[in-house]
A and B are shown apart, each in its own frame.
Chain A
Amino acid sequence: DQQVKQNSPSLSVQEGRISILNCDYTNSMFDYFLWYKKYPAEGPTFLISISSIKDKNEDGRFTVFLNKSAKHLSLHIVPSQPGDSAVYFCAASRERNNDMRFGAGTRLTVKP
C-alpha cells in the first residue's frame, strides 16, 4: 500500500532556479515528515524534516512546506546547484512510531 507517493519520477531544472519536489500522503495519522537525498552507490542521507505542528521549515537553501489539509508536502531548493542532482525521497511516520514510509523518489537533475 502506497501511503506516501511521489508522482514525479524525475525533474530537471536549470542551475540557479528553484527546484520543487512534491509528495502526497494518504494516512492522516502521519505527523512527522522527512526528506532524504540519495546519490548513486550511497545510502540516503537526511536532509530536512517537519513536524505536523508546523507548516514550514527552512534550512539554508532547503525549505519544506506542509499542507495538512491537502496531505501534501513539498521541498523547495533555492537556488538549485548541480551538486543537488540526486534522488530525493519523501518519508512519513507517526511520531514515536518507527514504521517510516517512503515514497518512490524523484530524480532531480540540475543542469549547469
Chain B
Amino acid sequence: DSGVTQTPKHLITATGQRVTLRCSPRSGDLSVYWYQQSLDQGLQFLIQYYNGEERAKGNILERFSAQQFPDLHSELNLSSLELGDSALYFCASSPHSGLSTDTQYFGPGTRLTVL
C-alpha cells in the first residue's frame, strides 16, 4: 500500500460526458502528479501540482483540467469524453516540489471506460 488513494476504482460513462477523478496523496506529500495509461502504452505524464499550484504540464488535453485543494487532495476533470479517453489514470505523490530525484508513490489507478 503506497498510501496514495484514488477514487473511484472504476468508472463507466458515455461519450460527451464529464467525469471527475479524485486523488489523496500520502500524508505529508505536497506534490501530486497525474498520468494516463492507455492500452499497451506507457504512462503519459499529464500534469503536476505542488502545494496547490500547477507546477508542470505534460501531454494534457485542453478538455482535461486538474486542481489541488488546500487539504492537498487533487481532482482530475475530464470533459467532452471521447472513446480514446478510455484508459487507466494514475495519481502519484512525492514529498517535495518535484525534483525528479523524488520518489513518486503511485495510487492504484482509476479505470475509465468511455462507451
Residues of A within 8 A of B (CB): 4, 6, 9, 32, 36, 41-46, 49, 51, 89, 91, 93-105
Contacts and interface: CB of A to CB of B under 8 A. Distances in A.
Given A32-B101, A93-B100, A96-B100, A45 B45 contact: no
B96 to A, nearest CB: 11
Contacts of B42: 4, 6, 89, 101-105
Contacts of A103: 42
Contact of A46 (B4, B40, B44, B104): B104
Secondary structure at the A interface, as helix, strand, loop or mixed, is loop
A91 B44 CA distance: 11
A91 B92 CA distance: 14
9 contacts: A9-B40, A42-B108, A43-B92, A96-B100, A98-B45, A98-B56, A98-B100, A101-B42, A103-B42
Given A43-B92, A43-B109, 8 more contacts: A32-B100, A41-B108, A42-B108, A43-B108, A45-B105, A94-B100, A98-B33, A102-B44
A7 to B, nearest CB: 12
Contacts of A96: 99-100
A96 B33 CA distance: 14
A56 B31 CA distance: 29
Contacts of A104: 40-42
Contacts of A51: 101
Contacts of B48: 98
A41 to B, nearest CB: 7
A48 B7 CA distance: 28
A91 B102 CA distance: 13
B90 A43 contact: yes
Interface string B76-115: 0000000000000010100000111101111111000000
A94 B45 CA distance: 14
Contacts of B109: 43
B64 to A, nearest CB: 16
Given A41-B108, A43-B106, A43-B107, A100 B45 contact: yes
Contacts of B101: 32, 49, 51, 95
